[in-house]
């Protein structure tokens, strides 16, 4: 097993020792010795020792009932501490002789390459300033760790940074050591699992906290880096009005399958965002009013505030009063619905204008060094976050709109909208969209479901335009799905264009996405209702669950190609919105590589993507980590725009068609066609028990039924817990093996070498196979699955082994991740702590499934701790 970095190993060991001291303080040395015995047994077993495996099993089998929970918690907490150390490793202090991480230098190096390849300085600077990247924070239920623990983990990371100085005095080093021990003790004595599910408002507040504690600092730092890099390579500055990366949110707006997200919730979240934004800017402006005590000012500023001794302070105090009024009004409006009085800031220009005036004046008076300090940071925040912090998207299922319109048309005596064919629907919707009179009479009394749809549309109509993003339609498939939303919004008073975005999710929907948008763009009057580019959302999670990752990935690629050509033919700008999950099974993976693998022309200076669940914390939870990930996004979108990947060769397309067809057949033969599969899935995985985990506000199922009724997240989560990782690889094994047997191995190698799309998919497949473990999955089968179903599990493990063999043959490696030694080492170290958790989870699942009465509560809590620990160890849930 390769060694992990020496400094990372030291941090992991140090944090582990402090955790051990905390456990010993509570349970004594004998219990700590038992934990160490389990760890050593797992370590020996991973190295192939049969004696180590027997020792591990015997020690775990010998645990008393009251030891199950603390043992599970010990290994769970260690894995969380390992995550903290690993994350800090990315942003730690480096000596001048050490190279900067790739994430820190990627944008700077890209600008250098682009200049050498012939891109002009002004053109390149303008391209960077004009980039439109939007990261949409979503509240999918995959964040296992409680917010209170996340805050303690962040504080531990800060102490690692404080400790990372060679010249600390002995008493300073002792202070850091003491604080680290205190924080680890606080985390140990805090429950890992929430007692109640978060509400949608709780989720939105969690999203705001990520902005407050990390992105508020990271964004201006990141833009300073961009500004400096532009100056070095182009001689240009990043304009003050440039915001190449902005943020949107689904938290409080995503009502697809979530009855807890109502119009009232959306209204509350919009007001909370305004309160939080005003509060954050108040802190900034308060500081600026204290700092900018200078007397010299431009004539423009003097004319504005008069001949006063401290003109900057006078102007900033005026802004401060308006921010206070805005915050106070937002707080009152949460309870009273009060309309904003005149002094409330309602347009972002009202926030930006006084800040820009101060900046111009300082520069004009020779005080640019002051202007480009905290004032510039505040300006960058105001441009990026605005008065509304994030733009809130609304999402609803297309059937809810169709049901509402059916009720309305029946009430009006026009028939039942749901029973009309597509052409009749379009004719009706277009006629009503162009009609000046309202469709609904004032006295119309809607059913509760329809009333909720209409109430949501009224909230949208009343909200300031800048506070909202797009209205996303789940399970869209026809132009009428878009027109229906436009009509409902019009009926509820919306008098401005709004982006109404069809989301194509299943394999069939992806195949028909292009023709659907083509028909939409041909409709009379539709183009005049477009708010900016034509936005289309590509669903990764549900298409992967529907067809497997191989067929889904190729369908997503082809759909994007078609959409690019169609919008180009209509002379309409296209914005693709990528609904990617955090895991490979949900279309996730490294963002930089994923963006560079998109079809040529699909990333034309614009990019929109979801960031979900625990990935928000891993990528944006700490300012330094957030800066690195913003760099990756910026560099990837710029490179994909100016140096897009090659158009795939005809032979590559032909082979991908075969691979996708074979992968689809193999995937569905198991997941859809095997009559034993659903029973096996529910017995072999903790899918049913995951419903007990109070993760998010949204139910785990859209409806009752089998696998097709599951959301993509619990579908992935369940297989991740058993380490079979089935959704991420099933289908690849048959497709690649068939290609090799047809003599197409050399062509596969060429595709991997020269086609970023295929290379990225193979890299992600390799990563997930490295995390998979058939031996662990077999333990779940032996303990939990009825004997008549076990052969299915054995067959699936054989397919997993086949996937590994065929992938190694394609890559020419002797083992998975042979070229990524650090990643392989990290997985190897984590396995030592994961193995006991898996064994405990199997035992707890078996006990909980046969227990009755009050004793189940303790078992369930311990079981959920193992779920959290395994998720932490693998760094993903769903």
Catalytic residues: 140, 545
DSSP 211: I
Phi, psi of 564 (to 5 degrees): -60, -45
User: 817, 766 in Cβ contact below 8 A?
Assistant: yes
Residue 716: CB partners within 8 Å, gap ≥ 6?
Answer: 581, 583, 585, 586, 727, 728, 877, 878
User: 543, 556 in Cβ contact below 8 A?
Assistant: yes
The alpha helices in 437-540, defined as continuous H runs, are 448-462, 479-491, 507-522
Q: Which has the closest alpha carbon to 238: 254, 251, 250, 222?
A: 222
- Spatial distance between the Cα atoms of 227 and 786, rounded to a whole number of angstroms: 62
For tokens 């053109």, the residue is 123
Rounded to 5°, the CA angle 41-42-45 comes to: 85
For the chain, how big is the Rg over CA atoms in Å? 28
Surface-to-core class of residue 847, CB atoms within 10 Å of its CB (0-12 exposed, 13-18 middle, 19+ buried):
middle
User: 836, 56 in Cβ contact below 8 A?
Assistant: yes
DSSP 599: P
- Spatial distance between the Cα atoms of 626 and 633, rounded to a whole number of angstroms: 11
Query: Residue 611: helix, strand or coil by DSSP?
Result: strand
Max CA-CA distance within the chain? 90
Residue 174: CB partners within 8 Å, gap ≥ 6?
Answer: none
User: 381, 238 in Cβ contact below 8 A?
Assistant: no
Residues in the chain, overall count: 878
Q: Which has the closest alpha carbon to 610: 112, 290, 142?
A: 142
As beta bridge partners, residue 134 has 246, 608
As beta bridge partners, residue 710 has 701
Q: Which has the closest alpha carbon to 69: 131, 27, 41, 100?
A: 27
User: 359, 379 in Cβ contact below 8 A?
Assistant: yes
- Spatial distance between the Cα atoms of 832 and 834, rounded to a whole number of angstroms: 6
For tokens 């309202």, the residue is 438
Residue 31's alpha-carbon distances to 55, 697, 835, 862, in angstroms, are 16, 37, 19, 17
User: 156, 180 in Cβ contact below 8 A?
Assistant: yes
Kindly report the number of other CB atoms within 10 A of residue 497's CB atom: 14
How many CA atoms does the CB half-sphere of 874 hold within 13 Å?
35
Residue 302: CB partners within 8 Å, gap ≥ 6?
Answer: 311
């Amino acid at each position: 097993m390769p060694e992990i970095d020496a400094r990372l190993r030291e941090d992991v060991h140090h944090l582990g020792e402090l955790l051990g001291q905390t456990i010993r303080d509570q349970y004594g040395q004998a219990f700590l010795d038992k934990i160490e015995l389990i760890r050593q047994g797992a370590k020996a077993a991973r190295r192939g020792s049969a004696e180590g495996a027997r020792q591990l099993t015997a020690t775990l089998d010998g645990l008393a009932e009251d030891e199950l929970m603390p043992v599970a918690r010990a290994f769970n907490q260690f894995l969380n501490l390992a995550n903290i150390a690993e994350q800090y490793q990315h942003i730690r202090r480096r000596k001048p002789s050490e190279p900067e991480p790739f994430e820190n230098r990627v944008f700077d190096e890209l600008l250098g390459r682009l200049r050498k390849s012939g891109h002009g300085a002004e053109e390149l600077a303008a391209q960077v300033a004009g980039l439109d990247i939007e990261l949409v924070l979503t509240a999918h239920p995959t964040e296992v760790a409680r917010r209170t623990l996340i805050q303690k983990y962040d504080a531990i990371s800060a102490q690692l940074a404080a400790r990372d100085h060679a010249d600390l005095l002995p008493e300073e080093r002792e202070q850091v050591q003491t604080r680290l021990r205190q924080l680890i003790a606080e985390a140990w004595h805090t429950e890992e699992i929430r007692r109640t599910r978060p509400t949608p408002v709780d989720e939105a507040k969690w999203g705001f906290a990520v902005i407050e504690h990390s992105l508020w600092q990271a964004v201006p730092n990141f833009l300073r880096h961009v500004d400096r890099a532009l100056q070095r390579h182009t001689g240009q500055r990043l304009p003050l009005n440039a915001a190449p990366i902005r943020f949107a949110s689904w938290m409080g707006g995503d009502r697809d399958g979530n009855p807890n997200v109502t119009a009232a919730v959306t209204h509350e979240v919009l007001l909370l965002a305004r309160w939080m934004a005003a509060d954050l800017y108040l802190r900034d402006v308060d500081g600026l009013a204290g700092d900018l005590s200078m007397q010299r000012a431009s004539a423009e500023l003097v004319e504005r505030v008069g001949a006063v001794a401290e003109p900057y302070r006078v102007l900033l105090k005026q802004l401060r009063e308006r921010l206070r009024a805005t915050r106070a009004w937002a707080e009152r409006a949460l309870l009273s619905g009060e309309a904003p009085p005149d002094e409330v800031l309602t347009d972002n220009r009202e926030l930006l204008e006084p800040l820009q005036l101060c900046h111009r004046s300082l520069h004009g008076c020779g005080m640019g060094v002051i202007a480009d300090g905290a004032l510039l940071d505040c300006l960058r925040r105001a441009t990026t976050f605005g008065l509304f912090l994030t733009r809130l998207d609304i999402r609803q299922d297309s059937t809810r709109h169709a049901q509402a319109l059916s009720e309305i048309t029946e009430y009006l005596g026009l028939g039942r909208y749901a029973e009309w064919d597509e052409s009749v629907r379009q004719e009706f919707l277009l006629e009503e969209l162009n009609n000046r009179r309202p469709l609904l009479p004032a006295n119309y009394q809607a059913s509760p479901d329809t009333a909720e749809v209409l109430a949501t549309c009224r909230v949208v109509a009343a909200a300031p335009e800048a506070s909202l993003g797009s209205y996303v339609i789940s399970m869209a498939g026809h132009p009428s799905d878009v027109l229906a939303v436009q009509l409902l919004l019009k009926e509820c008073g919306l008098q401005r264009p709004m982006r109404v975005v069809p989301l194509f999710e299943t394999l069939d929907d992806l195949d028909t996405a292009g023709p659907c948008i083509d028909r939409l763009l041909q409709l009379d009057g539709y183009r005049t209702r477009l708010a900016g580019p034509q936005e289309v959302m590509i669903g990764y999670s549900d298409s992967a669950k529907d067809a497997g990752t191989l067929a889904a990935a190729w369908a997503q690629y082809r759909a994007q190609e078609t959409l690019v050509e169609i919008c180009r033919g209509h002379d309409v700008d296209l914005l693709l919105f990528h609904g990617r999950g955090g895991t490979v099974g949900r279309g996730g993976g490294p963002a930089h590589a994923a963006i560079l693998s998109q079809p040529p022309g699909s990333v034309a200076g614009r990019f929109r993507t979801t960031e979900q669940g625990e990935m928000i914390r891993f990528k944006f939870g700490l300012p330094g980590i957030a800066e690195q990930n913003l760099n990756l996004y910026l560099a990837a979108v710029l490179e994909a725009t100016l140096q897009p990947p090659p158009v795939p060769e005809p032979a590559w397309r032909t082979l991908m068609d075969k691979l996708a067809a074979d992968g689809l057949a193999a995937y569905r033969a198991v997941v859809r066609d095997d009559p034993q599969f659903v029973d096996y899935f529910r017995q072999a995985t903790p899918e049913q028990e995951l419903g007990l985990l109070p993760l998010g506000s949204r139910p785990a199922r859209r409806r009752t039924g089998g696998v097709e009724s599951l959301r993509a997240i619990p579908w992935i989560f369940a297989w991740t817990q058993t380490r079979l990782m089935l959704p991420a690889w099933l289908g690849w094994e048959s497709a690649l093996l068939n290609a090799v047997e047809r003599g197409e191995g050399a062509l596969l190698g060429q595709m991997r070498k020269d086609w970023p799309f295929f290379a990225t998919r193979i890299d992600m497949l390799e990563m997930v196979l490295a995390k998979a473990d058939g031996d662990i999955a077999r333990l779940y089968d032996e303990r939990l699955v009825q004997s008549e179903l076990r052969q299915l599990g054995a067959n699936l493990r054989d397919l997993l082994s086949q996937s590994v063999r065929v992938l190694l043959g394609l890559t020419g490696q002797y083992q998975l991740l042979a070229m990524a030694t650090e990643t392989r080492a990290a997985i190897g170290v984590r396995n030592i702590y994961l193995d006991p958790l898996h064994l405990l989870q199997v035992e707890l699942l078996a006990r909980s499934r046969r227990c009755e009465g009050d004793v189940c509560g303790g078992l369930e809590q311990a079981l959920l701790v193992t779920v959290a620990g395994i998720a932490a160890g693998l760094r993903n849930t769903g």
